[in-house]
């Protein structure tokens, strides 16, 4: 009776709206491992060859097509007819991603027929977000046909596209006698014309990894009646600080500004953003090495997402001063990896960001000590992701007592290369019913005693990284994975004491395994690999470099 009740509850859950925005990711090797439900809202197809034969053989469109709100094709081989067939079954999508789908644009004939364009206009009439990132065969003509079909675009991504930005290129392909869009070049000036036509509704653009320069950015931001909410300029190295400051002064409604890896982003840009962008919530300054001062951040305590990873010249004193001046109640995501922090700064951080959910302090060697680790755990109760890789000063004393237990719902824990952690600390501290991802690679004091405890205390694990934990044996790891029935990803490369018996245990206890790395596990043989592959039901990405070279 209990079994029947559980099945009935599962069916009800699948058919009602309680599951919300359900996402399905389909890859070529996992397409057979699909549970069909009519309530999928987001479908992601990754590295799939979408031939006409494939589409006719798979019933996914019957189950999902009419309910899809988001369709994402990543790295897919697809032709024009297949694309039309797909969108004809997905008439309610709001989001369309065609990322690195070069075969779709290679011929230049997509939607060139009037009847195809009319068909696409009907199919894509609800689309407001279009992602064309990493497509090298785009042209002005192709782009214009796509945005004619999807005529309500408010969000556009052209990241990593070969976008010609210099005016001389535009003049070369558009002499005074040229009126039709070029089939040979994709120009920023043509994109700008489209944005001008959509200025009342256009809100977001991603120009990351393109050659956009200060002149292009000025033309964009000065379009009459254009009010951007999101602007992504990651790795746009042609941009000087003055251009970014002008953006902040002109587009004051920005809630997201991404200038990661823009080498000429300076303290003045940060100050301008905080002076003028009063609605700023997501600020990405990753690897902006010219930044030294964060004191102006106290002007905006509404930030939700702040990435300062790799800002190696950032002064710890300015971070400390910024934290002393404000409490960041809204901040959910903070990445300070590879920044030079001291212990007092981390102690202050733990007091000033009470609702933080993601914290990355990787390689902040001096700042993360036993004392600051305990402060993080006791002050940041809502963390679900804690990344402390290469924080070498953390010891078992920091993990002692119920320190980590103060965090209520931790799901991702990374303590890679925390060399001083031993079985004692692991047994006492890492005990979470909801923990999904754990990285203890290079924790060379971890042995079977600790890994067995991890298996028993953390039953929801899906991803485990134990690379170079060379004291682990078949017995310990086999005992642990017997509790990890959800395990999908396992990296044990360099665990030299493992043998074919471990592979047998994985095939028995881990039916969902999709990635396994046993490289440099010298006790594992080619014969063991072949037997493992014959036992598992579904394809698994298996790495086995430098295993036993003699045994067959």
- Lookup: tokens for 528: 């063991």
Q: Which of 144, 162, 180 is the last residue of a domain?
A: 162
Name the residue with higher pLDDT: 248 or 320. 248
- The string of DSSP codes covering 396-463 is HHHH-TTTGGGSSS--EEE-TT-TT-BHHHHHHH---TT--EEE-TT-TB--HHHHHHHHHH-TT--E
Instruction: Tell me whether residue 88 is exposed, middle or buried, using C-beta atoms within 10 angstroms of its C-beta: 0 to 12, 13 to 18, 19 or more.
Output: middle
CB 79 within 8 A of CB 86: no
Pair of tokens at residue 103: 């075969």
Residues 411, 385: contact at Cβ < 8 Å? yes
Q: Are strands 129-131 and 204-206 parallel, antiparallel or unpaired?
A: unpaired
Question: What span, in angstroms and rounded, lies between the C-alpha atoms of 257 and 233?
Answer: 8
Question: 259: how many CB neighbours lie within 10 A of its CB?
Answer: 27
Per-residue pLDDT reduced to its tens digit, 52-80: 777 776 667 767 788 899 999 999 999 99
pLDDT tens track for 321-371: 888 878 899 999 999 999 999 999 999 999 999 999 999 999 999 999 999
pLDDT tens, 221-239? Answer: 999 999 999 999 999 999 9
Q: Which residue has the tokens 């497509």?
A: 135
What is the phi/psi pair of residue 284, to 5°?
Answer: -110, 110
Q: What is the pLDDT of residues 256-306, one digit of tens each?
A: 999 999 999 999 999 999 999 999 999 999 999 999 998 888 877 789 999
Look at residue 188 and tell me whether its pLDDT is greater than 70.
Answer: yes
Q: Is residue 454 part of a domain?
A: yes
Integer Cα distance of 489 and 413 in angstroms: 15
- Number of other residues whose CB lies within 10 A of the CB of residue 27: 17
Give the mean pLDDT of the chain: 91
| Nearest-angstrom CA–CA distance, 540 and 513 | 7
At 59 the pLDDT is: 65
Owner of token pair 């951007």: 228
Position 536 in a domain: yes
User: Would the pLDDT of 14 be above 50?
Assistant: no
Percent of the chain with pLDDT over 70: 93
Domain CATH code at residue 543: 3.80.10.10
Alpha helices in 35-166 (DSSP H): 52-57, 60-64, 80-87, 102-105, 114-123, 140-149
The pair phi, psi for residue 197, each rounded to 5°, is -70, -20
Is residue 352 in some structural domain? Answer: no
Average pLDDT over residues 1-14: 44
> Given 115, 139, 162, which residue is the final one in a domain?
162
In a domain, 285, yes or no: no
Give 83-87 contacts, CB < 8 A, sequence gap 24+: 83/50, 83/110, 84/116, 84/119, 84/120, 84/123, 85/52, 85/55, 86/50, 86/55, 86/61, 87/120, 87/123, 87/124
Q: Give the C-alpha distances (Å, rounded to integers) separating 349 from 300, 302, 341, 354, 423.
A: 16, 16, 11, 9, 29
Write the CA distances from 69 to 41, 74, 93, integer angstroms: 5, 17, 4
* pLDDT greater than 90 at residue 550: no
Residues β-bridged to residue 473? none
β-pairing, 129-131 vs 155-157, is parallel
Reported as a pLDDT band with limits 50, 70 and 90, residue 430 is very high
Domain that holds residue 527: 422-551
Q: What is the mean pLDDT of residues 7-29?
A: 53
- The domain that contains 130 carries what CATH number? 3.80.10
For residue 34, being part of any structural domain is answered with yes
Residue with tokens 């990661």: 260
Pairing of strands 70-74, 95-99: parallel
473-518 pLDDT, tens per residue?
999 999 999 999 999 999 999 999 999 999 999 999 999 999 999 9
**pLDDT for the residue 38:** 54
User: Does residue 136 form part of some domain?
Assistant: yes
Least confident of 167-181, 482-496, 538-552: 538-552
Identify the H or E element spanning 171: helix 167-173
pLDDT in tens, 84-128: 999 999 999 999 999 999 999 999 999 999 999 999 999 999 999
In a domain, 90, yes or no: yes
Task: Taking residues 438-462, report their average pLDDT.
Answer: 97
Determine contact, residues 347/372, Cβ cutoff 8 Å.
yes
The residue whose two tokens read 């230049």 is 108
- Provide the token pair at 359: 């914290």
Which H or E run includes 526? helix 526-535
Tell whether 326 is covered by a domain: no
> 494: phi > 0 → left, psi -120 to 50 → alpha, else beta; which?
left
Q: Count of domains in the chain?
A: 2
Domain end (from 162, 182, 209): 162
């Amino acid at each position: 009776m209990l079994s029947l009740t559980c099945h009935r509850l599962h069916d009800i859950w699948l058919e009602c709206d309680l599951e919300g925005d359900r996402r399905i990711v389909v890859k070529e090797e996992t397409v057979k491992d699909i549970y069909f439900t009519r309530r999928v809202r987001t479908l992601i197809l990754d590295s799939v060859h979408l031939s006409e034969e494939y589409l006719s053989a798979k019933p996914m469109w019957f189950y999902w097509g009419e309910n899809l709100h988001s369709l994402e094709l990543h790295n897919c081989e697809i032709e024009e007819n297949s694309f039309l067939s797909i969108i004809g079954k997905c008439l309610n999508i709001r989001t369309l991603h065609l990322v690195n789908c070069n075969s779709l644009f290679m011929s230049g004939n997509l939607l060139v027929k009037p009847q195809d364009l009319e068909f696409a206009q009907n199919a894509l009439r609800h689309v407001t977000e279009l992602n064309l990132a990493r497509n090298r065969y785009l042209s002005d003509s192709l782009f214009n046909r796509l945005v004619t079909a999807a005529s309500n675009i408010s969000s556009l991504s052209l990241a990593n596209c070969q976008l010609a930005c210099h005016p001389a290129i535009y003049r070369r392909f558009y002499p005074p006698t040229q009126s039709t869009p070029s089939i040979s070049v994709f120009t920023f000036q043509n994109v700008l014309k489209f944005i001008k036509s959509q200025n009342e509704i256009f809100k977001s653009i991603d120009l990351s990894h393109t050659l956009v320069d200060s002149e292009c950015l000025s033309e964009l931001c000065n379009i009459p009646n254009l009010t951007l909410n999101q602007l992504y300029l990651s790795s746009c190295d042609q941009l000087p600080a003055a251009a970014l400051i002008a953006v902040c002064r002109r587009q004051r409604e920005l809630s997201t500004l991404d200038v990661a890896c823009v080498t000429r982003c300076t303290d003045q840009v940060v100050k301008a953003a905080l002076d003028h962008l009063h609605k700023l919530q997501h600020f990405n300054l990753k690897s902006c090495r010219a930044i030294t001062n964060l004191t102006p951040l106290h002007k905006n305590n509404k930030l939700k997402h702040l990435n300062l990873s790799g800002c190696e010249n950032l002064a710890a004193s300015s971070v400390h001063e910024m934290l002393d001046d404000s409490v960041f109640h809204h901040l959910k995501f903070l990445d300070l990896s590879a920044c030079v922090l001291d212990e007092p700064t981390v102690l202050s951080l733990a007091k000033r960001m009470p609702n933080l959910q993601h914290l990355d302090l990787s390689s902040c060697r001096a700042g993360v000590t036993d004392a600051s680790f305990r402060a993080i755990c006791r002050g940041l109760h809502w963390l679900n992701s804690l990344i402390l890789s290469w924080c070498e000063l953390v010891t078992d004393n920091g993990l002692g007592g119920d320190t980590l237990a103060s965090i209520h719902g931790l799901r991702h824990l990374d303590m890679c290369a925390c060399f001083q952690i031993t079985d004692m600390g692991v047994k006492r501290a890492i005990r979470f019913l909801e923990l999904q991802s754990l990285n203890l690679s290079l924790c060379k004091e971890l042995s079977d005693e600790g890994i067995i405890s991890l298996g028993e205390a953390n039953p929801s694990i899906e991803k485990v990284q134990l690379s170079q934990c060379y004291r682990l044996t078949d017995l310990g790891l086999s005992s642990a994975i017997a509790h990890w029935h959800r395990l999908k990803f396992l990296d044990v490369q360099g665990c030299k004491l493992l043998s074919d018996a471990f592979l047998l245990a994985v095939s028995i206890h881990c039916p969902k395994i999709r990635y396994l790395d046993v490289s440099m596990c010298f006790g594992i043989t080619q014969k063991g690999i072949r037997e493992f592959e014959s036992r598992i039901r579904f394809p698994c990405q298996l790495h086995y470099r430098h295993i036993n070279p003699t045994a067959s």
